[in-house]
Chain A
C-alpha cells in the first residue's frame, strides 16, 4: 500500500519521547461513544501499479470520441502542448492561495495577467481571479445587481438551462426574484422583455451566443434594459471574442462566462472556469479574490490580493459572496492559452469554428436537415431533420463521432470547432446519407 507518511515507527517513538508526550492523550477529548471502534470498511491500500491499473480500467469504460460535435457548455478545442506542459509546473500546481505576497509573486502576477487578458477580450475595466464555472458566475453577477428597490432579475429562456437553474438555486432565499423572458424564433422576444422591464428590474441576463448558438441583438436589448435603469449582464463565450463585438461594446455592465474553451479539457464537466469582469464603478461588488498592482517598500512593482474588505474572511455574513477557493489554476491556464494564441490565433480559432459550423450545416441541409431558427449563428446551431435525434446520435457514435446534443425528438444542437476537419464533417454527412438511403 502507498503511504506518504515520512517518519518511521522508530522516529515516531523518538518524537514522543523527546517531546515528553503521550499518544493516547491526544484523543482524550474525543468521547468514547464517538470513537470508531472498528477499522474503516474500505479496501486495503494499493501500490501505485495497482491503483493505476484500476483507474485505467475505469477510464477505459468511458468512450473517448475522435470527433466531437457537441457543445452546450463544454467544447472540444485544441490545447497547445506548451500550455499543458507549462501549466503543470509544480510550483503553480501545489501552491495555496497567495496569502504571502512576497513568496507568491509568480502566482499573483499570473492572475493579474489573466485579469488583464480577460479585460482585453471583454472590454471591461476589472476582473476577479475566477469563480467555479460559467453558471455560478452568472448567479454571482445577478447577486451583484440587486438592491432594496430593484429586486427582479430577468433571464431569457435562451440561456443555458443549467445556468438558469443555477441562478434560481443561488437566489432562492435572497430578496431577488427571477423572471423568465420568453423567446421567439430562438431569441429573446422583445415584446416579452418590454412587458417585464420595470423600476424593480435589477438586471437583464443575456447569453451571447445564446444556448441555441444564435447571436442575440445584445445592443438593442441592453439599451431597453438601461432605459429602465437595470444593469446588463452578458454571458459571453470567450472563444467568440477574438471576432465579435466585446460585451462592453454591446452594453454589458458585467461580463461573465464559461472560459473552459480557453485551454481546459472537457473533463466530464470540471474543473472549469467562471470569469467575471465589470466596470470600475461596480468593482467593489465583485465576489472573490482580486489581484492588484502595488509597490513594495523599495517602490518596486509588486502584486497582492486586494480589495479584501468585500470578502468573507473580513466581512463574514456581510460579504459579497462566501467564495474562498476559486479556480485559480484554471485561470492561470486560460491566461497562458490566450498568450499562446495571441489576438490573431484567437481570431483564427473563432473563424475556423464559424466557417466549419456553417460548412457542416450546408452539408446537412443537402440531406434535408433544416435550421430550427433562421438566425445568424456562431458555431452552434439547431437542426430538425429526416432522422430522429437519437438515431443520429447512435449511428454517429458507432463511428466514433459524438453528434450534436439531442434536444428533443428531432432537434439537435450541433457545435463545430477547429478540431474537426472537412474530412470529419464529410464523413458525418456520408454516414447519415447511408442511413437515409
Chain B
C-alpha cells in the first residue's frame, strides 16, 4: 500500500519556492493570523513526482484498458482535445475581461451551442451547467419558471420512470417538486397506461432517458410526449445515452422540450476520476426567456446580455469552459458524418457483445439494444452463489474495468455493459472470452471468483467499516 503524502513529509523540506519579495513586507496583526502552521505536506519535488506516479499506477483510465462502464460512455478521449484546451488563448483568459477581448471565447461557445442544437434538434443551449445532474437541476428550474410565468401554479409533481438515474428524482426535489415514480412495462419501456393515470394538471414534467438505462429506445416515445403535452406538462430529456443516436434521431424531434447532455460521455471529454464534466442544457424556444445568466445570448451572441426572465445563475461565470473547448474540438474533428458513424459503431459493438454473451448472461429485456445492454446474474447467483459483484471483481484481474453493477434498480443482479465505438473487435472478443471463462469458473471453481481480485494492490474493501467508523482525513495517529 502506498504511503500517504503526509507520511513522506519532513519539516522544512521544500518543493516550489517564490522569488524574494521585491516590495515592502506587509504582515497582519496577530489577532488576525492563524495560531498554528497548517499540517499540509512538506516534500521535495522528486518526492511529489514519485508519490503521484505511484498513485497513477494504482488508477485505471480509458488509456489503460477496456472500460465498459454502462451509462458512462467511456470512449477514448482524443489527445488533440487536451492540446486545444490548454492553448493560452483559452486557459489564460480571465472570465471578467472586457467582452471585446474575448471574441474567440464567444465564438467557440457559439459554435458549440449551434452544433449541439443541430445534433439534438433544440433551439438554444446554455453551456453553464457543469455536469449532468447540474443540467437536470437547470432544466427543471427552467420548467418551473415556464409554468409559473404562465400562472399555471398547480403543477407540483414530476414523473420519473423507475429505471431512471438517481440524479433525476434528486434534481426534481431540488427544484421543489415531489417525485412520482412511473413503472416500466414488460418490455422495459414506460408503461403508457400507468403514465396516463399519473398525468394530471398537477404534473409539471416527465423526465425520460431515451434510449433508457436498459439500453432500449422507447418505441412509444411520440405517444408519451404527446400525452404529457396534452396534460399541459413538459418533457425532459436526460441525455446520458445520446451516444446511441447521434445523426439517427434527435430528442427535439421526439417531442422533448428540454435536454441535458453529458459532454464527458458523448463528446469525449475526459472524466478526470469523477469530473469535471459539462452538462449543457438545450431548450425549445418556449424556454429561451428563462435561460440562466452567464449564458451566451442566442441572438445577441453576448454573455453580458441576459435572457428576459432568467432563472438566476447555476454557478459563477459560464460553466466548465475548457471542457466545452474539448467537446467543440471533438465535434469539429468528427463532423456530422463522424458523429453518426460513432453512434452506429457504439450500437454495433453493444449488439455484438450482447449476442455473444446472452446465452450465459441473460439479457433483462430481450431484443436488439442500442449502445448498451443490461444482463442479470440472478440465475448465476441462484445456481452458484456468484453475484454480479463477484463477476465484476473477477474482471479486475483480467485488466478489464467492470460494467456498472446493480443498476438499473429494476433488474436483479444487474450488469450494465457499454463498450462504446472506440473499441476494436479484438478487445470485445477478449472481454467476451473472459466473461465466458468467469461464468464457467462460477460452476467449476467459485472460490477463485470469491477470492478475486488477486492482482490489485488491495483485496476487497470493507465498505461497512468505512461508513460505521468514518476516517475522512489523515491524522498522524489515526492513520497508522
Contact = CB atoms under 8 A, between A and B. Distances in A.
Contacts of B401: 96, 100, 103
Interface in B11-51: 13-18, 21-28, 32-35, 37-43, 45, 48-49, 51
A237 B336 CA distance: 44
B425 interface: yes
A65 B95 CA distance: 12
A73 B316 contact: yes
Given A21-B351, A29-B367, A294-B463, A327 B275 contact: yes
Given A40-B247, A109-B4, A317-B169, A270 B463 contact: no
Interface residues of B, number: 206
B56 interface: yes
Q: Is the interface of B mostly helix, strand, loop or mixed?
A: loop
B273 A355 contact: no
Given A61-B89, A91-B57, 20 more contacts: A5-B341, A26-B369, A44-B337, A94-B271, A97-B271, A97-B275, A104-B60, A168-B312, A169-B141, A169-B314, A215-B32, A244-B28, A270-B276, A313-B166, A322-B171, A323-B131, A323-B134, A339-B15, A376-B28, A397-B101
B28 A39 contact: no
B104 A16 contact: no
A343 B461 contact: no
Contacts of A303: 461
Interface in B107-153: 107-108, 115, 118-119, 130-134, 136-137, 141, 144
Contacts of A358: 23-24, 26
A181 to B, nearest CB: 19
Contact of B25 (A269, A341, A344, A355): A355
Contact of B312 (A74, A93, A172, A325): A172
B61 to A, nearest CB: 3
B205 interface: no
Contacts of B179: 316-317
A129 B274 contact: yes
A55 B86 CA distance: 11
Contacts of A63: 93, 97, 101-102
Contacts of A58: 89-90, 104-105, 107-108
Contacts, number: 707
Interface string B401-433: 110110100000000000001111101000000
B466 A136 contact: no
Interface in B53-71: 53-64, 67, 69
Contact of B473 (A76, A119, A133, A346): A119
Contact of B97 (A135, A215, A342, A402): A402
Given A40-B336, A51-B80, A63-B97, A112 B474 contact: yes
Contacts of B64: 90-91, 94
Given A62-B89, A295-B462, A241 B336 contact: no
Contact of A268 (B58, B102, B328, B393): B102
A120 B78 contact: no
B60 A20 contact: no
Interface stretch (A158-166, A195-203, A364-372): A158-166
A189 interface: no
Interface stretch (B218-226, B378-386, B438-446): B218-226
B474 A74 contact: no
A422 B22 contact: yes
Interface in A223-253: 241-246, 249
B312 A165 contact: yes
Best-surrounded residue of B52, B62, B169, B453 (most CB of chain A within 10 A)? B52
